[in-house]
């Protein structure tokens, strides 16, 4: 029984999801704020997307996905759903901007697109990471 439990644990930790192929030319980017900008909190972040569309989470439609904002963290691992935490915010309603509260100091922001199951595309569709200073 112990052995079966151990085998199951290994299988589950290794479980990978099939990544949706990225549409040709798809590009995600942060429209604002700009890299290096000094802003005051709350901060409005606007999401840009080229060559693909937005669909709410759970809706499987070709060439669509939804935005995830990565705050003060690295890109999520591939082939599994993007975590949901203060560092990884999902916009499963199809939103293209948000307003966030940030403590004074430097912060990094980055966008990553997820498919209808919140799994990053292959190849990954992510913006560059920007650094802002909150007054
Ligand atoms: Cu998501």
Question: pLDDT tens-digit profile of 22-66?
Answer: 999 999 999 999 999 999 999 999 999 999 999 999 999 999 999
Question: Distance from the CA of 57 to the center of ligand 1, in angstroms?
Answer: 6
| Alpha carbon of 39 to ligand 1 centroid (Å) | 26
The confidence band for 84, taking pLDDT boundaries of 50, 70 and 90, is very high
Give the distance (Å) from ligand 1 centre to CA of residue 4. Answer: 33
Is the pTM value of this prediction over 0.85? yes
All domains in the chain, ordered by first residue: 19-134 (2.60.40.10)
Q: Report CA(131)–ligand 1 centroid distance (Å).
A: 23
How many angstroms separate the CA atoms of 104 and 54, rounded?
A: 32
Q: Which of 52, 48, 19, 41 is CA-nearest to residue 122? A: 19
**Span from the CA of 134 to the centroid of ligand 1 (angstroms):** 26
Beta strands 130-134; 38-39: pairing state: parallel
Mean per-residue pLDDT of the chain: 93
Per-residue pLDDT band for 93 (boundaries 50, 70, 90) equals very high
């Amino acid at each position: 029984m112990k052995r079966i439990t151990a085998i199951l644990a290994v299988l589950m930790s290794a479980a990978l999801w099939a990544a949706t192929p990225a549409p040709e030319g798809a590009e995600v980017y942060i429209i604002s704020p700009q890299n290096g900008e000094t802003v005051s909190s709350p901060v409005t972040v606007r999401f840009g997307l080229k060559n693909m569309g937005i669909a709410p989470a759970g809706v499987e439609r070709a060439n669509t996905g939804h935005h995830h904002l990565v705050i003060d963290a690295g890109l999520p691992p591939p082939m599994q759903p993007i975590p949901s935490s203060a560092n990884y915010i999902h916009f499963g309603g199809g939103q293209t901007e948000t307003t966030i509260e940030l403590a004074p100091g430097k912060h990094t922001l980055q966008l990553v697109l997820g498919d209808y199951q919140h799994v990053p595309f292959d190849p990954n569709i992510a913006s560059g990471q920007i650094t802002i200073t909150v007054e």
